[in-house]
Structure 1
Amino acid sequence: MTRKSFALALQSAVLPLALAFCPAPALHAQAAQPWTVKEVFGGPSLTGYAPDQIYWAPDSKQVTYLDGSGNLREFVVGGASARKIIASKELEPLLNAPISEQDRDHRNRYDEPDYIWAPDSKHLLFDTNGELWLFSTAKGKGRKVGNTGMQSGDDPKFSPNGQYISYIRNNNVYVQPEQDASQARALTNSGSKTVLNGGIDWVYLEELDVRSNYFWSPDSKQIAFLQMNEDRVPLYPIEDWLPVHARIQWWQRYPQPGDPNPGVRVGVVKAAGGPVSWLKIPLDTGNGYIPRFGWVNDHIVWVETLDRAQKHENIYFADTHTGQVKLALAQTEPKYFNTTYGVTFVGDHQFLLLSWRDGHTHIYRYSFDAADPMAAPAKLENEVEHGDYEVMSIGSVDKATGTIYYVSNEGNPRAHQVWAVNLDGSGKRRVSQTGGVHEPKFPPHGSSYIDEYSDMTTPPAVAFCNPQGACHSFWTSTPVTGHDLQQSVLLTLKAADGKTTLYGTLMLPEGKTAAHSVPLIVNPYGGPDVGEATDRWGGRHLFWNELLAQHGFAVLTMDNRGMGARGRAFEQACYHNFGPPELADQLASVDQVLKKYPQLDPHRLGWWGWSWGGTFTLYALSHSDRFRVGVAVAPVTSWRNYDSIYTERYMGLPSEDAHAYEVDSVQNSVAHLHGHLLLMHGTGDDNVHFANTIQYIQKLIEAGVPYDYNVFPRKTHSIAGALDQTELYNRILQEFELYLMPEHPVPGGAGE
């Protein structure tokens, strides 16, 4: 459930009173006009379209991106501006190629690139629907060089020497000469509907963030790939009711808690063809996971394994010449590992990894024998940096200077800044020079970077930055016109335990100060591995909150215990206990803002959320009688319905803690629901299945609880598209206008 939406926040100080607030001056644009749902969700972006698909060339001398008009532009290191190298008329047939709703969703949701660089840094390979087009950056022209036969998940790559193109077709690994599709050949032949060679199944995409399952050796002679056997994984039907004769759109392999997981193993095959050699990596087949793997050198593969309980994480080295396998590193956690998988190799004798073993996520450096990596386990050299903050990611390692570039929230939990530190832990310094959230993209070599950054009051800009953090912007957002944008109040509150600090924001309607004149809408995400309280531009979500404020509503967004980006103890506060701690923190936050802002009406409280936030809505309405109305979009209504990797990480197996699954699943508390409820779901949702809402409705019927409901045919978890988004948000607004805005409760809600 990787729904990482980000709310609006700025830096706030922790004051002695357990309740700190910052003033909210208006951000004036031009002459104010009323917001409409159609303007926010049914039209083009009001701030323009930021550069998309930003990729560095292998030689690190230039970076390319797609602009808002569909042109491919190039920014050369040392240059002043980006130039157009491929015109939109050349790319339009590719970028707008007709593909299915499911494939489009997968390409967007799982970051499948529309193009990749060739190793010569002079050519680009485009793939948007399975057709492979090779373009020359010098000429701006391309020609078709192959077809994978797949609209998503084909994962095309160049061999490191640039002589071959590889891809996934029908769950087998294929290789062809760079410009001769007629010589395409399969390196594996066991692919089927249940056996994936080099392909990625849904649960690995969604919950382990796997983006590729095969890799070339550095000398271009071998390919290592993950085979996934889903034969024992249960099937779920994604149905389409729009045709005259309803049909099963596709059968999804989807392991739920306690179900068999895909059986996985790593194979190695020569690029010239031949038999597959299977690495004998210790793993409980059908239970354990292989989140990451790759090459240490030309003949040694590294493989990361994770047990089903996600408490034991090992890294193995395997020699493809001898078949020998050695344990390089073993790690354990008393509850579970967070989702920082993989290692970053530095040269031929050391690697970096992220771990929260000391309570916060930090960088650890390990070394091994470059001449014989199998000789002994990896040795811990040092915790590279340390402190009461989180490292979000390792961006790059400049091997020439021995400098690590990474992103962390050191000094401000709301900010994501670029930092640098030497491999030995010396010389730590902040690189980025402005506040807010920075998303750097580093080249393969060197330490200059492309930075996409924003803050709560500043829409995104994209800049080229040097290692000292001096930046030159080459794209900035279009100013918002026609509206007065107001700044949310920054909140620093206390959790229900009276000790833990919580961060969040409050959007208030301007000019409404009379006591109890403003209804309050609570809108948290609430679930693990996500932090919303960041100093980031909110985009359409910001404009939506502005619209709600324009209609007279206040909106509260707080990060409760159990959410991410605040350390191990903060996130694991809800281990085997989904619901009670999170709700307690949200209620404590509501009480604190009600006390501080008398214009907020304690008798007119609403709640809405999406995905985990939708589940949270149902939990709040059935475990508290304080909320008059709730809107739940795409909720998990029983944790037995969600996938194995995510749910078992936080809840364990149903056979080991049946009580937690019983009391934390909202289907089992329907009879205690209070207030008016609106449910919304897409029928094509392959993340949180439509069955969740159907099962919940059945429980509502059995309990005699009234409800409202909107269905979105064929739509996936994001319910994307201007028409559907406009319908969805108009319905949310109508629900709050009808049931939350009136001073007195409207009859007909649950629990009345």
Structure 2
Amino acid sequence: MTTGHAGFDRFIEGLDAFVTGGAILPAWSPDGKWLAFLEGTAEERTGRLVDLESGRTEPLVADVAALRKAVRAATGQTPAGTGLPFEHIGFAGPRQLSAMVGSATVTVDLDSGEVAELPTERPIDLHMELADSVRRTPKEFLRTAPLTDPIKARELGSPQGTAFVSTVDGNIVLRSVADNRTARLTTDGTPEHEYRFDLVDPQLTALGMAFPVCNWSPDGSRIAVYRVDNEGVYQAPQVHHLKRGDEVVHRYFAQAGGRLERTTLHVLDVYGGAPVELDLGDTTDTYPVHGAWLPDGAHLVVFVLRRDCRRAEVLLADARTGQTRPLFSEEGETFLRIHHDVYYGKKIGLFRTPDGTRLLWLSERSGWKHLYLYDLEGTLIRWLTDGEWPVDYVHRVDDEYVYFTAHQDQTRPYDVHLARAPLAGGSVERLSEQPGVHAAIFSPNGETFIDTFSTPAEAPRSVLRRADGALICELSTADTSNLEWTPPQQFTATAADGETELWGVQFFPADFDPTKQYPLIEYVYGGPQIAVAPHAFNSHFAKAVHALAQLGYVTFVVDGRGTPERSKAFHDVVTQDWAAGLVPDHAAVVEQLKQRHGYLSEAKVGVVGHSWGGYSAFRLAAERPDVYAAAVSSAPGFDPYSSVLYECYLGFPQTDHDAYRNATPYPLAAQLSAEFLLACGTIDHATWTDSIKMSETLIRAGKDHEFVLLPEQPHGYDAVHDSYFWRKVAAFFRAHLQEGNR
């Protein structure tokens, strides 16, 4: 491995190019007896078969050469490489695998080794979309989502696999698997008054990593949907320049204190019965969400969050009549839910037991996020978890236990452990042992699960456990033999209040020499909805930080006060004061790192961030010129008045004047002395105007800056433009950071 631009270019894609194995994609046999998985590179891919009862493992295929010969004989194709010729596998029967080889689908008998190609469908049937594979495969469609461009999604299949739903021109469309024909279940939808339904990645749901969305009733006869009224909502312009003539598109973009889209909940009958609107009263300035169908298919649990996020109500609705009755509610002095979770992901912290008689509710009423059990009369039965540590999220509920992830070890507060609590009451059992971030994939019957864990410096490892946490066997350990690096280091520092412990991660050049000195660069986010310091291996936010380090810097990420995954008090620092924990905490961490480590240059540091990280980078540089010498703001969300996303934390501009005025960074432009690079996509209707306003403000203040515009790019950049952006960042820091002794 090399440092410099070659190392930067490789690291910007993450560590996948250097590491294989560790994390696995499982295939579970339909009889609940076997687990199969692949690992290794495409050239030398291997596979393992695991007996779920005994933990005995064996090669998935004993004679790979014979298998490849059989595949060639069955399909006429010669797979590349020397290993197993499959990228993905599934079970077609208790001892039979199915896989794709090129365009052919084959089955492999695990006992005899026999390979058979499934009948090839006629090209004309594929073209006419009459082939069975076409009819049974969910199709892509464009769906709308709050504040963003339409996104590609896949149809949602019914529980019985007989139909799919999508949206077309604002209406709900049903497609029959039997004949591939479609029928509109609604006809009054328009772009201004549109219907939507929830979508969660089906792969995550199938793997037990996400709860199923609440759309189809259990018997497949009804669909729970939303009707979104955008009338009067602000529309942000989006200008497309690359065609012969410019095109202007307007995107609905609710502003802080402005008109919010009004959402109502409906139930549609797939057999043609009249649609039913759930009786929620006036839903203006609320976020109503379908929570869960009860097993009878005739009732739904509904969640309604008030616009300021300080009151949530749970109701039971009759899907046949629309009548509702309240179950329980909760109010808080600050936000009860992270706004992004509800607004985008419908992640509402509400779960039902399999028998549908009880509900589990996540609440921070004690000062820590914990689970509470209610009955369908709205009576609190008991606390299921308690203590000075927060639950992360629920991943499975069976008749006896709730299984969840949690930050149980407060000596390492960002470690994520697997745990379970008995619904009947009793002690919480921790199911994972090793330090790090753990994730679970449960088998379909819930009797076993795969525990995959890592730290920033330790690559993933997967083991198989029983539901009680007992270790069955080792599954896979990552191969890091091609990874020549200096591992990242987790660190702690003290917040500006002099008391609170903050956690972060440092990254180093591959050829790091502690006797030399290196400039320091911070990668910052600072938004209130996520913690970004990467405490697992190869996480999303680690890629750019790893890459920048290969240019000869030490880089770091830290989560200051006002971010989640800690106590409610830690998170509430952002309430009414957007930057309360931002500038003082992050600057304090820089100063402590430089005092602590002789390998850090005494020169001022650099900072880079995207989205709210762009806001943070600018504000750090503007308010602490004694600490930060150069800042990069990418797709920066500067204007708190511009978006509804600020309301749960700051309140409303009409009533909370000081909170919004203090959060606005434009007045800081006049005091900026750091070198500054601003970058934004020209069709990023969320932040393009913010960037233009900041550039104009800097110009009028006589402040030189660079403005990198990325044509036809939205809030996230495609590969070509992302590469261009990071080249500009590398050149910017090379020009403006003192490099010290190298």
Identify the TM-score tier after normalising by the shorter chain: 0.7 to 0.9
2:263 aligned with 1:256, yes or no? no
Distance 1:586-1:364 versus aligned 2 partners, 3 A rule: same
CA deviation after TM superposition for structure 1 residue 737, in Å: 1.4
Report the TM-score, using the length of structure 2 for normalisation: 0.79
2:10 aligned with 1:39, yes or no? yes
State whether residues 232 and 259 of structure 2, in contact with CA within 8 Å, keep that contact through their aligned partners in structure 1. Answer: yes
Q: Kindly report which structure 2 residues correspond to 1:185-200, keeping only aligned pairs within 5 A, or say none.
A: 185-199=183-197
Q: Structure 2 counterpart of 1:267, which letter?
A: H
Distance 1:634-1:48 versus aligned 2 partners, 3 A rule: farther
CA deviation after TM superposition for structure 1 residue 135, in Å: 12
Q: Secondary structure at the match of 2:460?
A: strand
2:292 aligned with 1:294, yes or no? yes
2: CA distance between counterparts of 1:534 and 1:150?
33
C-alpha distance after superposition, 1:472-529 (max 9, x if no partner): 565554526263x213343222111111111113345633546xx4322222322212
State whether residues 415 and 534 of structure 1, in contact with CA within 8 Å, keep that contact through their aligned partners in structure 2. Answer: no
1: CA distance between counterparts of 2:554 and 2:460?
25
**Number of the residue aligned with 2:693:** 695
Distance 1:453-1:713 versus aligned 2 partners, 3 A rule: farther
State whether residues 587 and 620 of structure 2, in contact with CA within 8 Å, keep that contact through their aligned partners in structure 1. Answer: no
Gaps of 5+ in 2: 62-66, 72-87, 110-116, 120-131, 143-150, 201-209, 339-346
CA deviation after TM superposition for structure 1 residue 342, in Å: 3.9
Which range is displaced more, 706-715 or 529-538?
529-538
State whether residues 519 and 553 of structure 2, in contact with CA within 8 Å, keep that contact through their aligned partners in structure 1. Answer: yes
**Number of the residue aligned with 1:380:** 380
2:146 aligned with 1:145, yes or no? no
Q: Structure 1 counterpart of 2:352, which letter?
A: F
Q: How many residues align?
A: 659
Aligned match for 2:733, one of 717, 726, 736: 736
**Number of the residue aligned with 2:648:** 649
Q: Secondary structure at the match of 2:572?
A: helix
2:155 aligned with 1:163, yes or no? no
Gaps of 5+ in 1: 1-29, 88-113, 127-132, 203-209, 369-376, 745-752
RCO greater where, 1 or 2, for CA within 8 Å and sep 6 or more?
1
State whether residues 397 and 403 of structure 1, in contact with CA within 8 Å, keep that contact through their aligned partners in structure 2. Answer: yes
Q: Structure 2 counterpart of 1:344, which letter?
A: F
**Number of the residue aligned with 2:623:** 623
CA deviation after TM superposition for structure 1 residue 463, in Å: 4.8
Distance 1:283-1:429 versus aligned 2 partners, 3 A rule: same
State whether residues 666 and 697 of structure 2, in contact with CA within 8 Å, keep that contact through their aligned partners in structure 1. Answer: yes
2:576 aligned with 1:576, yes or no? yes
CA deviation after TM superposition for structure 1 residue 455, in Å: 1.6
Q: Structure 2 counterpart of 1:255, which letter?
A: A
Q: Secondary structure at the match of 2:649?
A: helix
State whether residues 24 and 462 of structure 2, in contact with CA within 8 Å, keep that contact through their aligned partners in structure 1. Answer: no
CA deviation after TM superposition for structure 1 residue 55, in Å: 8.3
**Number of the residue aligned with 2:513:** 511
Distance 1:123-1:335 versus aligned 2 partners, 3 A rule: farther
CA deviation after TM superposition for structure 1 residue 727, in Å: 2.2
Distance 1:32-1:685 versus aligned 2 partners, 3 A rule: closer
CA deviation after TM superposition for structure 1 residue 274, in Å: 2.6
Report the TM-score, using the length of structure 1 for normalisation: 0.78
State whether residues 630 and 675 of structure 2, in contact with CA within 8 Å, keep that contact through their aligned partners in structure 1. Answer: yes
1: CA distance between counterparts of 2:227 and 2:636?
32
CA deviation after TM superposition for structure 1 residue 408, in Å: 0.7
Q: Structure 2 counterpart of 1:511, which letter?
A: D
2: CA distance between counterparts of 1:530 and 1:284?
28
2:658 aligned with 1:668, yes or no? no
CA deviation after TM superposition for structure 1 residue 37, in Å: 2.4
State whether residues 306 and 312 of structure 2, in contact with CA within 8 Å, keep that contact through their aligned partners in structure 1. Answer: yes
2: CA distance between counterparts of 1:254 and 1:355?
30
Which range is displaced more, 160-169 or 293-302?
160-169
**Number of the residue aligned with 2:146:** none
Q: Kindly report which structure 2 residues correspond to 1:337-352, keeping only aligned pairs within 5 A, or say none.
A: 337-339=336-338, 341-346=348-353, 347-352=355-360
2:329 aligned with 1:327, yes or no? no
**Number of the residue aligned with 2:81:** none
State whether residues 12 and 546 of structure 2, in contact with CA within 8 Å, keep that contact through their aligned partners in structure 1. Answer: no
**Number of the residue aligned with 1:229:** 229
2: CA distance between counterparts of 1:63 and 1:464?
10
2: CA distance between counterparts of 1:445 and 1:298?
22
1: CA distance between counterparts of 2:211 and 2:418?
24
State whether residues 81 and 474 of structure 1, in contact with CA within 8 Å, keep that contact through their aligned partners in structure 2. Answer: no
CA deviation after TM superposition for structure 1 residue 649, in Å: 0.8
State whether residues 158 and 164 of structure 2, in contact with CA within 8 Å, keep that contact through their aligned partners in structure 1. Answer: yes
State whether residues 532 and 541 of structure 2, in contact with CA within 8 Å, keep that contact through their aligned partners in structure 1. Answer: no
Distance 1:76-1:655 versus aligned 2 partners, 3 A rule: farther
Distance 1:717-1:655 versus aligned 2 partners, 3 A rule: same
CA deviation after TM superposition for structure 1 residue 437, in Å: 0.9
2: CA distance between counterparts of 1:393 and 1:35?
39
**Number of the residue aligned with 1:725:** 722
State whether residues 134 and 143 of structure 1, in contact with CA within 8 Å, keep that contact through their aligned partners in structure 2. Answer: no
**Number of the residue aligned with 1:431:** 431
State whether residues 214 and 226 of structure 1, in contact with CA within 8 Å, keep that contact through their aligned partners in structure 2. Answer: no
State whether residues 105 and 118 of structure 2, in contact with CA within 8 Å, keep that contact through their aligned partners in structure 1. Answer: no
CA deviation after TM superposition for structure 1 residue 35, in Å: 4.8
Distance 1:284-1:225 versus aligned 2 partners, 3 A rule: closer
C-alpha distance after superposition, 1:616-658 (max 9, x if no partner): 01111221222211111111111112x31x2101111111112
Which range is displaced more, 709-718 or 669-678?
709-718
2:391 aligned with 1:394, yes or no? no
Q: Structure 1 counterpart of 2:265, which letter?
A: V
Q: Secondary structure at the match of 1:421?
A: strand
State whether residues 42 and 726 of structure 1, in contact with CA within 8 Å, keep that contact through their aligned partners in structure 2. Answer: no
2:363 aligned with 1:361, yes or no? no
2: CA distance between counterparts of 1:524 and 1:731?
18
Q: Secondary structure at the match of 1:581?
A: coil
Q: Kindly report which structure 2 residues correspond to 1:442-453, keeping only aligned pairs within 5 A, or say none.
A: 442-453=442-453
Q: Structure 2 counterpart of 1:246, which letter?
A: D
Q: Structure 2 counterpart of 1:352, which letter?
A: L
State whether residues 359 and 375 of structure 2, in contact with CA within 8 Å, keep that contact through their aligned partners in structure 1. Answer: yes
CA deviation after TM superposition for structure 1 residue 51, in Å: 7.0
State whether residues 457 and 488 of structure 2, in contact with CA within 8 Å, keep that contact through their aligned partners in structure 1. Answer: no
CA deviation after TM superposition for structure 1 residue 539, in Å: 5.5
Distance 1:176-1:708 versus aligned 2 partners, 3 A rule: closer
CA deviation after TM superposition for structure 1 residue 672, in Å: 1.2
Distance 1:570-1:364 versus aligned 2 partners, 3 A rule: same
Q: Structure 1 counterpart of 2:263, which letter?
A: V
1: CA distance between counterparts of 2:690 and 2:327?
42
Q: Secondary structure at the match of 2:655?
A: coil
State whether residues 5 and 551 of structure 2, in contact with CA within 8 Å, keep that contact through their aligned partners in structure 1. Answer: no
2: CA distance between counterparts of 1:238 and 1:56?
46
Distance 1:50-1:271 versus aligned 2 partners, 3 A rule: farther
2: CA distance between counterparts of 1:273 and 1:82?
52
